[in-house]
């Protein structure tokens, strides 16, 4: 029995174990997800040409690609009527900013996000808790301070003194709005305006949100617990299955590794008077294999790997390729994750040019379907990136994997512009390769 056959048997047994654990988890979960299924179905149908039939019958009638972006961290409840929970480190920044870039690239985005985590376009506003944010970007301008004529001209209100250290409620330069009133004493007793230094940012957020509403390209689904996250992900993947290779799953959420099954949770708050608390945590079932092989078997799947040790980063990412069959792993280190990411992919999917929005999709598809060659170890390929930003191929991967490092250029506010461009180019090549394969199969069947 050769090594490849042994490895195949081990992988199959591992997937069967994972599938069994996932089934048990979902059966035990208290979450139904019917509303999520309805919302996703309607969202897909909106981007189909024939609205009179179900999305499963006509998903091939439009070419807009779909992406599911998962974001934020899952919680693990310690009681059914949850007071205490185990949380997971993640602010959801990468998922939120990637969503913006996917929207710019023409995707319809399903954003599966933790309640309270970073949302698309929110990075444009000052970083603050909600009450403080209101004080930072908005202000009150009584009609006596700014006349309607002065407000229409943009004249500032008189300055107000406040020793609290917070922005004053009636601040110099605040543009009052005669259309907004405060309290129930009558309209326009106190005007509310946006501070001039934040007006442009607020306008950009409002315009971006309005464009998403008008185009219907963003569906936001919120979760909190590990039960909600995995149940919703399964439902979304099922709904996306008819889309085939047009769908991508970009799994940037920080998913809990351990949890307490719902059937083992106590009903009410755990009492501290009962003495020391000892918890027995179960491993959360690995859903990547089921996602790739069963839930959405024709979709393009991108997983993420966060580590703190550079020495194991690429090996851990390569293991995800081999065990689960994902198409791309975005690996990053905790300390520099906003500036550097490492892309790890099967060698057969390697392209001989860096990805860009202007890249030839036909050439990319041919490269995706047929590019072969030894994995790169210990040296960067010429012409692919520099210390100033961009991408470069580097070593350290297991045999059969390609590694590309992407760095944030000094002039870019975020790395997601380059990251999403690379991912979208690979997804485009993947779709074209699938289309070419389907055409060849049809031609062969006709002969």
Residues facing residue 302 across a β-bridge: 250, 328
CATH, domain range 1-115+224-298: 3.40.50.10300
Residue 133: its pLDDT value, please? 81
Confidence of residue 187 (pLDDT cuts 50, 70, 90): low
Rounded mean pLDDT of 154-164?
49
Dist. CA 330–CA 422, nearest whole Å:
11
For the ranges 153-162, 218-227, 257-266, 333-342, the lowest mean pLDDT is seen at 153-162
Dist. CA 323–CA 301, nearest whole Å:
13
pLDDT per residue over 334-381, tens digit each? Answer: 999 999 999 999 987 654 334 443 333 333 333 343 333 333 322 333
Residues facing residue 258 across a β-bridge: 283
Dist. CA 391–CA 412, nearest whole Å:
14
Nearest-10 Cα torsion for 199, 205, 206, 209? 180
Flag whether pLDDT at 200 surpasses 50: yes
Residue 49: its pLDDT value, please? 60
Residue 83: its pLDDT value, please? 94
Q: Are 323 and 11 in contact (CB under 8 A)?
A: yes
Residue 404: its pLDDT value, please? 93
More confident residue, 72 or 394: 72
Among 375, 107, 315, 334, residue whose Cα is nearest residue 216: 107
Residue 382: its pLDDT value, please? 28
Rounded mean pLDDT of 26-42?
95
Flag whether pLDDT at 56 surpasses 90: no
Residue 348: its pLDDT value, please? 73
**Percentage of the chain modeled with pLDDT above 70:** 70
Cβ burial of 356 (10 Å; 0-12, 13-18, 19+) is middle
pTM of the entire predicted model: 0.78
Residue 8: its pLDDT value, please? 54
Q: What tokens appear for 316 in the block?
A: 């851990």
- Which sequence spans correspond to the domains of the chain? 1-115+224-298, 130-201, 336-447
Residue 57: its pLDDT value, please? 53
Dist. CA 184–CA 372, nearest whole Å:
70
- Element spanning 228, H or E: helix 226-240
Rounded mean pLDDT of 160-189?
48
For the ranges 49-58, 126-135, 298-307, the lowest mean pLDDT is seen at 49-58
- DSSP three-state, residue 3: helix
Confidence of residue 178 (pLDDT cuts 50, 70, 90): very low
Residue 4: its pLDDT value, please? 53
Q: What is the mean pLDDT of the chain?
A: 79
């Amino acid at each position: 029995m050769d090594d490849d056959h042994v490895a195949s048997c081990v992988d199959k047994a591992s997937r069967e174990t994972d599938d069994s654990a996932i089934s048990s988890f979902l059966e035990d979960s208290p979450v139904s997800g019917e509303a999520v299924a309805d919302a996703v179905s309607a969202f897909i149908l909106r981007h189909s040409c024939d609205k009179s039939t179900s999305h499963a019958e006509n998903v091939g009638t439009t070419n807009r690609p779909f992406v599911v972006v998962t974001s934020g961290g899952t919680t693990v409840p310690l009681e059914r009527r949850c007071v205490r929970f185990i949380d997971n480190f993640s602010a959801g920044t990468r998922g939120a900013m990637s969503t913006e870039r996917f929207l710019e690239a023409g995707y319809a985005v399903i954003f599966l996000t933790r309640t309270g985590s970073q949302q698309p376009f929110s990075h444009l506003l000052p970083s603050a808790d909600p009450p403080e944010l209101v004080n930072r970007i908005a202000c009150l301008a009584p009609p006596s301070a700014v006349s309607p004529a002065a407000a229409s001209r943009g004249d500032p209100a008189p300055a107000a003194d406040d020793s609290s250290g917070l922005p004053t409620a009636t601040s110099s330069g605040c543009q009052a709005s005669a259309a907004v009133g405060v309290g129930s004493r009558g309209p326009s007793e106190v005007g509310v305006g946006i501070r001039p230094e934040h007006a442009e940012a607020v306008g950009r957020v409002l315009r971006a949100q309005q464009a998403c509403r008008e185009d219907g390209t963003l569906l936001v689904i919120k979760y909190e617990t590990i039960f909600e996250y995995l149940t919703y992900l399964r439902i979304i993947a099922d709904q996306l299955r008819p889309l085939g290779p047009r769908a991508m799953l970009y799994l940037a959420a920080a998913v809990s590794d351990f949890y307490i099954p719902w059937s083992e949770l106590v009903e009410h708050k755990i009492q501290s008077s009962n003495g020391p608390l000892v918890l027995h945590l179960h491993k959360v079932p690995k859903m990547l294999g089921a996602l790739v092989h069963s839930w959405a078997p024709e979709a393009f799947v991108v997983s993420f790997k966060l580590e703190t040790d550079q020495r194991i980063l690429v090996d851990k990412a390569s293991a995800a390729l081999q065990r689960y069959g994902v198409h791309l792993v975005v690996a990053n280190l905790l300390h520099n994750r906003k500036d550097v990411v490492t892309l790890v992919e099967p060698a057969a999917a390697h392209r001989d040019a860096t990805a860009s929005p202007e890249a030839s999709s036909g050439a990319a598809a041919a490269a995706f379907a047929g590019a072969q060659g030894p994995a790169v170890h210990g040296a960067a390929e010429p012409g692919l990136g520099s210390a100033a930003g961009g991408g470069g191929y580097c070593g350290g991967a297991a045999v059969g994997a390609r590694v590309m490092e992407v760095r944030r250029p000094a002039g870019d506010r975020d790395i997601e512009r380059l990251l999403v461009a690379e991912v979208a180019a690979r997804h485009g090549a993947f779709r074209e390769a699938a289309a070419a394969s389907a055409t060849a199969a049809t031609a062969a069947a006709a002969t």
